[in-house]
Structure 1
Amino acid sequence: MDASALKVGGYTAFSATDYPDQLSAVVFVQGCPWRCGYCHNPHLQQRTGASPLAWEDLCATLQKRAGLLDAVVFSGGEATIDPALGEAMAQVRAMGFKIGLHTACIYPARLRSVLPLVDWVGFDVKAPFSRYAGITGIANSGDPARACVEAILASGVAYECRSTVHPVLLPEESVLEMAGQLAAMGVENYVLQPFRSTGCNDDSLIASAASAGEYPPAALEQQLAPLFKRFSVRRHH
């Protein structure tokens, strides 16, 4: 599909955090079929009839920044929802940028098709695979997630696997189960991201997280660390 069809819901001109050790711009693609309560970008869940930002105009902007930035990251929403993603990535790569991808691991076939264009991928795993519906609101959503993780690991592309943890949605036993599954699959680089209220529309999640105090506790972190070659907790204060 022609890259001009890409539905772009937003754009960040400069980021030092969305692609490790690289200065990047971030393109936010519209659309996500899942409805995670802690979503920070709920305004990007719907796909509108027309793209809020024209891809051709954004490409012209990116071309002017070639040589000033290292990479362009495609995020969302869920970037792999868009059939034009591969063409858009190829167009940006031809400008000399590295390509980053943020994905929630929803569309295995489309993810496999774009992975050869990707230099680094940050992917989310939301729960033990059998319990995904409790986070996403979609039955059997753990099946495509598992398939996507397998595809990423098989591709050899550089990655970061991360999970947002909320004390109600993911109690300690679920975090341990999830981490064990990932370690068994061969995940070596794993990051826990404690729930943040920023952008969240669910007042009950915000209140329950606040009343629980700091999560995950240090004892849980100590249990998880030996499972992975690289493990960290990314706290935002």
Structure 2
Amino acid sequence: MKVRIGGLNEMSLIDAEGLIAYSIFIQGCHRRCEGCHNPSLQPFEGGEEMDTSEIIDEIWRNRDYYESVVFVGGEPLDQPESLKELLKFVNGTNMEAWLYTGYYSDEIPADIFELADVIVAGPYIEKYKTNGFPASANQVIIDNRGSKNETIGNI
């Protein structure tokens, strides 16, 4: 399955709150949030088209180094089928799946919601900028790692 990406960060320590992460920057975002951290990822025609199997193979080869795989954008939910395929792969490993989305939690499709271990949900709103995590105070962090879904914070 094809996915359009704006880049891969093969060793991130910031995208998953200190976990060693492989971050996938999904290309394209319909939201166009003012003050977006990644405006170059907004156009759908940008980036590079890759096969999800290439990304899966790369992560699998280096799986001993990663604690998490992070899906960020752009807007990962604008490519839902490839996102689901990649999330399902991560679920079959000992790594955590982190999803950053501009969608509110009740807008996230249930099949994607249940595949992500941690979700940072909500659009970036510049007037609520935090200079921390999450990036704006309206965003929530949803922790699906335990036995029940729990909102663990918003600022």
- 1:5 is matched with which residue? 2
Distance 1:69 1:126, change over 3 A: closer
Distance 1:49 1:16, change over 3 A: closer
Distance 1:114 1:100, change over 3 A: same
Q: Which runs of 5+ in 1 are unaligned?
A: 136-160, 165-174, 180-185, 192-237
1:190 aligns with 2:154: yes
Q: Distance in 2 between matches of 1:47 and 1:121?
A: 23
When the two chains are superposed, the root-mean-square deviation of aligned CA atoms in Å is 3.2
Structure of higher CA gyration radius: 1
Q: SS where residue 16 of structure 2 aligns?
A: coil
Shift of residue 189, structure 1, vs aligned partner: 1.5
1:162 aligns with 2:134: yes
1:56 aligns with 2:56: no
Could you tell me whether the CA contact under 8 Å between 1:124 and 1:162 is conserved in 2?
no
- 1:69 is matched with which residue? 66
Q: Hey, which of these two has a bigger chunk of helix by percent?
A: 1
Q: Hey, which of these two has a bigger chunk of strand by percent?
A: 2
- 1:117 is matched with which residue? 115
Shift of residue 8, structure 1, vs aligned partner: 1.9
TM-score after normalising by structure 1: 0.50
- Aligned partner of 1:56: which letter? S
Q: Distance in 2 between matches of 1:98 and 1:188?
A: 16
Q: Distance in 1 between matches of 2:28 and 2:16?
A: 21
Could you tell me whether the CA contact under 8 Å between 2:97 and 2:116 is conserved in 1?
yes
Could you tell me whether the CA contact under 8 Å between 1:75 and 1:101 is conserved in 2?
yes
Identity among equivalent positions (%) equals 22
- 1:230 is matched with which residue? none
TM-score after normalising by structure 2: 0.73
Shift of residue 126, structure 1, vs aligned partner: 4.1
1:36 aligns with 2:33: yes
Shift of residue 61, structure 1, vs aligned partner: 1.0
Shift of residue 187, structure 1, vs aligned partner: 5.7
- 1:144 is matched with which residue? none
The residue correspondences of 1:194-213 to structure 2 (distance < 5 A) are none
Q: SS where residue 7 of structure 2 aligns?
A: strand
Distance 1:42 1:63, change over 3 A: same
Q: Which runs of 5+ in 2 are unaligned?
A: 140-149
- 1:27 is matched with which residue? 24
Shift of residue 190, structure 1, vs aligned partner: 2.1
- 1:15 is matched with which residue? 12
- 1:199 is matched with which residue? none
Shift of residue 107, structure 1, vs aligned partner: 8.4
Q: Deviations over 1:191-216 (max 9, x none)?
A: 4xxxxxxxxxxxxxxxxxxxxxxxxx
- 2:75 is matched with which residue? 78
Shift of residue 114, structure 1, vs aligned partner: 0.8
Q: SS where residue 59 of structure 1 aligns?
A: helix
Q: Match for 2:88 among 70, 87, 90?
A: 90
Could you tell me whether the CA contact under 8 Å between 1:80 and 1:107 is conserved in 2?
no
Q: SS where residue 98 of structure 2 aligns?
A: strand
Q: Distance in 2 between matches of 1:31 and 1:79?
A: 8
- Aligned partner of 1:25: which letter? Y
Distance 1:187 1:83, change over 3 A: closer
Q: Distance in 1 between matches of 2:15 and 2:119?
A: 10
